[in-house]
Amino acid sequence: ITDKINALPEGANYFSLEFFPPKTQMGFANLQSRLERMSQALRPLFVTVTWGAGGSTATKSLELAEICQRQLGLTTCLHLTCTNMSRSLVDEALEQAKVLGIRNILALRGDAPRSEEYREEGQTPEEDSNKDFTWAVDLVRYIRRQYGDYFCIGVAAYPEGHSDESHPEHQSPKTDLPYLIEKTQAGADFLMTQLFFDVDAYDRFEKMLREHESGTFKTIPIIPGLLPIQSYKILRRVTKLSHAKLPADILARLEAVKTDDELVKQVGVKVLGEIVEQLKKSPSPGRRGFHFYTLNLEKAVSHILEDCALIPQPLFEDDNEEAIESTPAIN
């Protein structure tokens, strides 16, 4: 991923898309054709595949990563969590990723798995007997120790802070900072952020990192995470879970149309477009990336990318024709 970012012209913009593994084979088939369309029409710099806490989606995450990397030829980043995972499961995931040709891992701690995730998978939670991994930094160190520079490693960052079972009290970006420095210095190549809607909060966060006296974050790619708005209900749920603040003006615009899903989507595309444009103007060294939490959906993100002129030109003329022919009208 960082090689691809660095190969872009200075000042260029790029974007990535996140997908999660569907639960059923039918879901996989649907997502595969959607991915084919999206990869041809949108040309993301890379895609990411989520990992269920404790390895609850291990097989399916690897299956989806295989489709992305091998079948569709997309540069793929596999998310990998490490708590409540045996070391053998971590080893297996990394070996499998290597076999599939995947060169990028988003190294995460993860949260305690919800028991229903296992019921769906027919698996049992791994005993957290493995004390090798308590924090994400342990996984970053482990990957570097076992694989050297083979994998490009990303880590999570939280522009508006963080709270979880280990720190039920809210961790502000400042209290989280020493740990972010630690895991970056342990060998992370890029940071990818939690979703947010408050660009001022994000700008303060990036400035704090870029100007940190350690110099750790001076040039490292920091990729802001953005959530295309699919419905008012999903938005409220996701922002609550992620502690993302909805600025009053954005909330008011969405509340005004909240009973009409179609209008919520339209306003959402505008809101996200404004966020992207604002971020393009924020100072950031090198190239500005955008990571979209797609929730496996196509239309909203496609509109945002089109409106913000983020879709790169195809490499060859033929690709263009093929893409046009096979891209259904976005409505």
- The strand pair at 222-226 and 76-81 is best described as unpaired
Of 232 and 292, nearer to ligand FAD (C-beta) is 292
Q: Which three-class secondary structure state does DSSP give residue 308?
A: coil
Alpha helices by DSSP H, listed for 122-172, are: 136-147
The DSSP result for 72-101, as a single string, is S---EEEEEE-TT--HHHHHHHHHHHHHTT
Stretch that binds ligand FAD, among 21-29, 46-54, 267-275, 321-329 (CB under 6 A): 46-54
Tokens of 157: 């960052």
Q: Which amino acid is at 133?
A: F
Q: Give yes or no for residue 109 binding ligand FAD (CB under 6 A).
A: yes
Element holding 26 (H helix, E strand): helix 25-42
Helix axis angle, 136-147 relative to 173-185, nearest 10°?
10
Of 10, 18, 206, 262, the catalytic one is 18
Alpha-carbon distance of 264 to 156, in angstroms, equals 29
Stretch that binds ligand FAD, among 3-11, 35-43, 101-109, 313-321 (CB under 6 A): 101-109
Query: What is the per-residue binding string for ligand FAD in 246-285, x denoting contact by CB under 6 A?
Result: ----------------------------------------
The DSSP result for 211-274, as a single string, is T-TT-TTSSS-EEEEE-----HHHHHHHHHHHT----HHHHHHHHTTTT-HHHHHHHHHHHHHH
Of 41 and 140, nearer to ligand FAD (C-beta) is 140
* Known catalytic residue at 165: no
Q: Give yes or no for residue 104 binding ligand FAD (CB under 6 A).
A: no
Among 14, 19, 51, 232, interactor with ligand FAD by CB under 6 A: 51
Q: Residue 264 CB, nearest distance to ligand FAD (Å)?
A: 24
Of 41 and 90, nearer to ligand FAD (C-beta) is 90
Of 89 and 264, nearer to ligand FAD (C-beta) is 89
Of 109 and 288, nearer to ligand FAD (C-beta) is 109
Q: How many CB atoms lie within 10 A of CB 315?
A: 9
Among 164, 200, 249, 260, interactor with ligand FAD by CB under 6 A: 164
Among 108, 220, 226, 244, interactor with ligand FAD by CB under 6 A: 108
DSSP secondary structure letter of residue 150: S
Of 166 and 326, nearer to ligand FAD (C-beta) is 166
Q: Which three-class secondary structure state does DSSP give residue 34?
A: helix
Q: Which amino acid is at 125?
A: P
Q: What share of the chain is helix, strand, coil (3-state, %, to 5)?
A: 45, 15, 40
Does residue 51 contact residue 57 with C-beta atoms inside 8 Å?
Answer: yes
Nearest to 229 by CA among 264, 193, 202: 264
Stretch that binds ligand FAD, among 33-41, 114-122, 129-137, 276-284 (CB under 6 A): 129-137
Residues 168-227 that bind ligand FAD (CB under 6 A): 171, 176, 179, 183, 192, 194, 225
Q: Residue 173 CB, nearest distance to ligand FAD (Å)?
A: 10
Among 36, 92, 111, 198, interactor with ligand FAD by CB under 6 A: 111
Q: Give the binding-site size for ligand FAD (rule: CB under 6 A).
A: 25
Q: Residue 288 CB, nearest distance to ligand FAD (Å)?
A: 17
Of 180 and 267, nearer to ligand FAD (C-beta) is 180
> What is the binding site for ligand FAD (CB under 6 A)?
50-51, 53, 79, 81, 106, 108-111, 135-137, 156, 162, 164, 166-167, 171, 176, 179, 183, 192, 194, 225
The catalytic residue positions are 18
